[in-house]
Structure 1
Amino acid sequence: MSAISNSIDIDRRPEDVFAYVTDPTHLPEWQDGAVSAAPVGDLPVHVGSRVLVTRRVGKRRMPSTVEFTEFDPPRSWHLHGVDGPVRPDVRGRIEPLDNGTRSRVTLSVDFEGHGLGRGLVPLVVKPMVRKEMPRSEEKLKHLLEHSAA
């Protein structure tokens, strides 16, 4: 299956965007499906950091653990699910715009289904993410552009 990818331009410096988007405590603020996100261990995150994320899928809450496999501030990061029936593979990239005063954020998400998750990924998860991702990015943009630096 192919990854779902989307980009959005944000009127904030790449450093500001990267710090916010890779801080797991902010995830439920901008992603509608995220009920909670808690680092497993100390912040700030780094390669090897794990985050316990609970997402709402329909009427169910599904916990899963993701791990940072790449972390290159303020340019890119990569998270990969390590447990659960649906394991996300998320790549983020931030490109500077207008001499670094603005940013283009590109998120690319794919999923591995394990057990019951094999059926959930194409029938439930991917359609839900395709619908939710643009809203989440708009929410991210709004939060970052309307908050103090």
Structure 2
Amino acid sequence: MADVQTEITIHRPLEEVSAYTADPDHAPEWYVNIHSAEWRTPRAISVGAQIAFKARFLGRELSYVYEIVEYLPGQKLVMRTADGPFPMETTYEWEALDSCTTRMKLRNRGNPAGFSKFLAPLMEPAMKRANSKDLAQVKAILEGAQPSPEKHPRQG
């Protein structure tokens, strides 16, 4: 079982941080491994909505569909794989530290299956590195800093 939690403090209001990060359309902008997000259901951030993602992780191309299973606007978003290479759950939690500062937590957990079982020892450290980069990128975007050109060479 891989279980990785990271967090960051972002100097932006909770409503702004949660709205931006909960929207799957923004995922390719701030997730280091995600290349595309495509809605499979009507475009609404709500329980039951499904989004197909394409990503690259540990040198492999991955396609998977996440379904939103819990959504409390401004507090929590939980998505689980409805279809993909292995069962995974991603949780975002947001907490206002003051009117202009938000703590965001990002948690990924899942059980590698099939070929992914062989990569299990590498997964948790790689997930931790990727999650830290993801949160640093969203912080840079929302705080108005220049995004890292190495992360997104197609931007610029």
Unaligned runs of 5+ in 2: 146-156
Q: How much has 1:124 moved relative to structure 2? A: 3.8
Pairs within 5 Å for 1:79-94: 79-94=79-94
- Relative to the length of structure 2, the TM-score reads 0.85
Q: 1:125 aligns with which of 123, 127, 147?
A: 123
Deviations 1:77-103 (A, max 9, x none): 1011122222321111100012x3210
Matched residue count: 145
- Kindly tell me: are residues 135 and 32 of structure 1, through their superposed partners in 2, closer, same or farther at Cα, counting changes over 3 Å? same
Identity %: 26
Pairs within 5 Å for 1:25-64: 25-64=25-64
1:111 match = 110
- Kindly tell me: are residues 2 and 60 of structure 1, through their superposed partners in 2, closer, same or farther at Cα, counting changes over 3 Å? closer
- Structure 2 CA distance for aligned equivalents of residues 30 and 5 of structure 1: 17
- Relative to the length of structure 1, the TM-score reads 0.89
Deviations 1:50-104 (A, max 9, x none): 1101110244321000110000001101011122222321111100012x32100
**Aligned 8 A contact 2:3 2:124 in 1:** no
Deviations 1:110-146 (A, max 9, x none): 12223223333x1343232121111110000010111
2:151 match = none
- Structure 2 CA distance for aligned equivalents of residues 80 and 47 of structure 1: 11
Q: How much has 1:2 moved relative to structure 2? A: 5.1
- Structure 2 CA distance for aligned equivalents of residues 95 and 127 of structure 1: 25
**Aligned 8 A contact 2:47 2:71 in 1:** yes
2:78 match = 78
